[in-house]
Amino acid sequence: MGIVATSPRFTINHVDNRSDHLDVAWADGHQSRFDAVWLRHTCRCDACGTYESGIRPLRLTEIPDDIALSEAGLNGDGGVDVVWSSDGHSGRFDADWLRSTCNSPAERRRRRWTPTLWGREIEGRVPEADYAVCKTDDDARLTMLEALRDYGFVLLRNVPDDPEVTAEIAALAGPLRVTNYGSVYDFTYQPDALVYGDLNVKLDPHCDEPYRQAPPSITCFHFVRAASTGGASTMTDGFRLGDEMREQDPEAFKLLSTVPLTHYRRLLKTGRDFRMRAPVFSLDEEREVAGIRLNDRGAGPIDADSELVRPMLRALRKLEAMLFDEANQVVVPVGSGEALFFNNQRVLHGRTEFAPDGERYMRTCNVELDEFYSTLRMLAQQQGREGAFMNLPHGALT
């Protein structure tokens, strides 16, 4: 699977066949247990197929619940060969695949990605990378994308100020997403703008397009020309806000992660009417924050049981007070010929007011979260990094 098998983590010392399961002892001292039915269901031989390819003739209903292992042992490649007693079927499992799918608590924790939470303290030392290097060096590109994964944003320096390369810049993270704004949208100052971002006013921290079933995720702001005065970006870590709110006011956090808001956008001139009901915070199976969707300018009336209306408004007020507190915002001045990538389902972005002289010209586009993860995994496998096996958050989905 791309991981060097000479590492003690991926070197098997010995295996013990326990009939209904297989015990594996690793060179680093770890012990794994693999269920016999689980092994049969995940057999990767040509006849059974693989779940990665989707070509998998084997059905779970064909496997007896009392199936047992009749033989098991190490093979010449350092993996494990097994034979099942019911039908004499044989299977071969690579050591790195077994370790990366081990269901021990320690290994499941290891596979679980942990975000780097941040606040104002990182101002002036935000994650950044060089575009020219990332474009030609896969290791540098992967490091840049890992920063985007871990922090939720990354600043890209030395970017061409040519508007024709915007899509190429964003493609570092994956294929572009097409929305009602097209694949690339131009932000320029317009005093009578239909899009709020085309005004020159200060923008409070917000998520873009929470009214969609799947909001934009990885967003790229390409600054062809920065504003002559003002226009700095602000970044706020929604994951950190969620953790702090849960600690300070568990009941408010529970409401915001269970009671949906209705997010609206009606564009009559273009014949579009969007709305989506979803909680502010999306949680994963461990009840950790996996995504956020919030734009107070587009949140409709609370549509919930009457006894929940006032508590929900209190919870929202508390969250927005934290959100609009500049102590939770990182100011990121982005100059001409630079680009800012951020995860719109984690990081709430804003902007300081800028001079309405028409100088500022920014282009923006998006990459789907699953496409970003795919790019990450492929590069991690190519570079032999274990990050390819990480379980990553599903984002702002209900």
Q: Report the CATH number at residue 76.
A: 3.30.2020.30
Residues 106, 85 share a domain: yes
| Tokens (6 digits) for 370 | 């699953």
The pLDDT tens digits of the residues spanning 82-129 come to: 999 988 999 999 999 999 999 999 999 999 999 999 999 999 999 999
Residues 177, 107 share a domain: no
Per-residue model confidence (pLDDT) at position 228? 87
Residues 70, 124 share a domain: no
Q: Is residue 396 part of a domain?
A: no
Residues 29, 151 share a domain: no
Length of the chain measured in residues: 398
For CA atoms 216, 160, 144, 339, the dihedral sign is: negative
Q: Which backbone phi and psi does 338 adopt, to 5 degrees? A: -135, 160
Instruction: Show the beta-strand stretches assigned E in 226-377.
Output: 233-237, 261-267, 272-278, 281-283, 289-292, 330-332, 338-343, 347-351, 361-367
Give 196's DSSP letter.
Answer: G
Q: Is residue 3 part of a domain?
A: no
Residues 166, 101 share a domain: no
For CA atoms 203, 204, 208, 209, the dihedral sign is: negative
Per-residue model confidence (pLDDT) at position 114? 95
Distance (Å, whole) CA 327 – CA 223: 26
Per-residue model confidence (pLDDT) at position 268? 80
Residues 301, 217 share a domain: yes
Q: Which residues neighbour 13 within 8 Å (Cβ) at sequence distance 6 or greater?
A: 25, 26, 27
Q: Which residue has the tokens 């500049």?
A: 326
Q: Coil, strand, or helix at residue 255?
A: helix
Contact 129, 144 (CB under 8 A): yes
The pLDDT tens digits of the residues spanning 57-82 come to: 889 999 999 999 999 999 999 999 99
Q: Is residue 394 part of a domain?
A: no
Per-residue model confidence (pLDDT) at position 389? 81
User: Which residues in the chain show pLDDT less than 50?
Assistant: 1-4
* Domain end position, chosen among 89, 111, 133: 111
Q: Coil, strand, or helix at residue 110?
A: helix
Q: Which residues neighbour 119 within 8 Å (Cβ) at sequence distance 6 or greater?
A: 237, 240, 327, 328, 330
**Domain extent at residue 266:** 120-389
∠ CA 351-247-393, nearest 5°, is 65
Residues 86, 124 share a domain: no
Per-residue model confidence (pLDDT) at position 2? 45
Residues 147, 43 share a domain: no
Per-residue model confidence (pLDDT) at position 345? 98
Across-strand partners of 299? 263
**CATH code where residue 212 lies:** 3.60.130.10
Residues 162, 56 share a domain: no
Per-residue model confidence (pLDDT) at position 6? 66
| Element spanning 245, H or E | helix 238-248
Contact 154, 218 (CB under 8 A): no
Per-residue model confidence (pLDDT) at position 170? 97
Residues 48, 21 share a domain: yes
* Domain end position, chosen among 111, 132, 147: 111
Number of domains in the chain: 2
